[in-house]
């Protein structure tokens, strides 16, 4: 059964924060300006982003469930929904699941509720569940949503214990490690939502989902982005937070989000784009002329050129004028980014019936990726 995206929406908290304001909102660790900040911002190309932090109090003004609910409410739903599928890498708690907290926030009647874990790909996993639910006939309408609330995790006070531990150990330059500081200048908050139905809009454009493909390269590569863990000694394996004492968790900022930048740069394009998309080109006989819009989820504009080169190498040289990204204006909102990007294109008036869209969503957690192919109708 065909499945259509009939409505799109997103929510970004407060006014945009520019590069100059960032550190005043997130705070200076140990009252010192970050040495990594300028380097990271120059590389990622992001000019503005949104944080759910109240600038007068320095505290989060909402939790992730509330943030997600606002995006869903922006869909303007009046119909009965059969399935709610939610993805995020930053739930408000370990248990219960993020999706049931969103359901509770919305106050909807009883329905099927599914949470998808992961990082950037968790939102597309939620979309795939919603799509399959409607395609199977098990649901008439499903809402897929994705969100990230990372700013509270990146506030300076979370790293004070680590710096104090370094001072106590008489380190010459006490500061948080680059793999932690790096992501403070990369990630931001936001949420997006999509309504999926078994019938297209009568008087407006809809998007028919033709296929969704997800894959993982974890069989050949170690974890690259992680939180609630640290590298095990003399190993690429992760040591989970339960194996650390509370004192060790604070001293090493175990719950901080960390990125192995060298591992990322060496593998992200090959493992999440070149290899899986090459197989999909053969499977679906994809050609450049089949694609009117290419929506890549970039974590950084640094990867724009490598992605372009990768597409050329597999015989799918999509011209830059067909690319659509809002990274520099909306920031890297992780799992929510593809939803926010699709909503912006959907609402722009540039999408016409017959246009075909290829979305590319990489995840550096342990090198997974997703592709979504849709046609406007």
> What confidence tens digit (pLDDT) does each residue in 165-192 have?
554 544 544 455 677 788 899 999 999 9
pLDDT for position 166: 56
pLDDT for position 164: 60
pLDDT digits (tens, 9 = 90+) for 65-74: 999 999 999 9
CA-to-CA dists, residue 107 to 88, 140, 248, 269, 317, angstroms: 20, 20, 40, 41, 46
Backbone angles phi, psi at 91, to 5 degrees: -65, 160
CATH, range 210-222+259-376: 3.40.47.10
Q: Using alpha carbons only, what angle is made at residue 264 by residues 156 and 119, rounded to the nearest 5 degrees? A: 65
Give domain 4-203's CATH number out of 3.40.630.30, 3.40.47.10, 3.90.1150.10, 3.10.580.10: 3.40.47.10
Question: Residue 260 corresponds to which tokens in the numbers above?
Answer: 């192995």
Question: Residue 347 corresponds to which tokens in the numbers above?
Answer: 């609402």
Give the closest residue to 191 by CA, choosing from 134, 150, 154: 150
Residues of the chain falling short of pLDDT 50: 167, 169-170, 172-174
Give the closest residue to 367 by CA, choosing from 228, 302, 270: 270
The whole-angstrom separation of Cα 204 and Cα 202 is 6
The whole-angstrom separation of Cα 333 and Cα 326 is 11
The whole-angstrom separation of Cα 252 and Cα 230 is 8
CA of residue 51 relative to chain centroid, distance: 15
Could you check whether 4-203 and 210-222+259-376 share the same CATH topology? yes
- Ranges of each domain in the chain: 4-203, 210-222+259-376
pLDDT digits (tens, 9 = 90+) for 94-150: 999 999 999 999 999 999 999 999 999 999 999 999 999 999 999 999 999 999 999
């Amino acid at each position: 059964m065909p499945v259509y995206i009939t409505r799109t929406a997103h929510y970004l908290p407060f006014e945009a924060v520019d590069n100059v304001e960032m550190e005043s909102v997130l705070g200076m660790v140990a009252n010192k300006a970050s040495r990594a900040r300028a380097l990271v911002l120059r590389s990622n190309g992001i000019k503005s982003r949104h944080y759910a932090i109240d600038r007068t109090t320095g505290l989060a003004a909402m939790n992730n469930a509330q943030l997600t609910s606002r995006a869903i409410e922006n869909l303007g739903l009046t119909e009965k929904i059969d399935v709610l599928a939610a993805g995020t890498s930053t739930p408000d708690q370990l248990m219960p699941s993020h999706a049931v907290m969103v359901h509770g926030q919305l106050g909807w009647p009883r329905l099927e509720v599914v949470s998808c874990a992961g990082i950037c790909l968790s939102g597309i996993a939620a979309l795939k569940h919603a799509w399959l639910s409607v395609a199977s006939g098990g649901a008439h309408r499903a809402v897929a949503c994705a969100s990230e609330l990372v700013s509270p995790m990146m506030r300076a006070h979370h790293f004070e214990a680590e710096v104090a531990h370094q001072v106590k150990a008489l380190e010459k330059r006490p500061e948080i490690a680059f793999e932690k500081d790096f992501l403070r200048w990369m990630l931001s908050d936001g949420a997006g939502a999509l309504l999926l139905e078994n019938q297209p809009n009568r008087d407006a454009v809809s998007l028919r989902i033709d296929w969704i493909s997800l894959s993982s390269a974890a069989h050949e590569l170690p974890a690259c982005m992680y939180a609630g863990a640290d590298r095990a000694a003399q190993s690429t394996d992760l040591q989970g937070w339960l194996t650390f004492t509370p004192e060790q968790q604070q001293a090493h900022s175990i719950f901080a989000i960390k990125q192995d930048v060298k591992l990322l740069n060496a593998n992200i394009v090959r493992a999440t784009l070149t290899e899986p998309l090459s197989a999909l080109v053969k499977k679906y006989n994809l050609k450049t002329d089949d694609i009117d819009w290419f929506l890549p989820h970039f974590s950084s504009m640094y990867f724009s050129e490598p992605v372009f080169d990768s597409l050329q190498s597999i015989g799918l040289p999509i011209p830059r004028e067909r690319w659509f990204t809002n990274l520099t204006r909306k920031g890297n909102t992780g799992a929510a980014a593809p939803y926010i990007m699709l909503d912006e294109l959907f609402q722009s008036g540039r999408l016409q019936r017959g246009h075909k869209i290829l979305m590319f969503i990489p995840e550096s957690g342990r090198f997974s990726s997703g592709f979504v192919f849709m046609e406007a109708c």
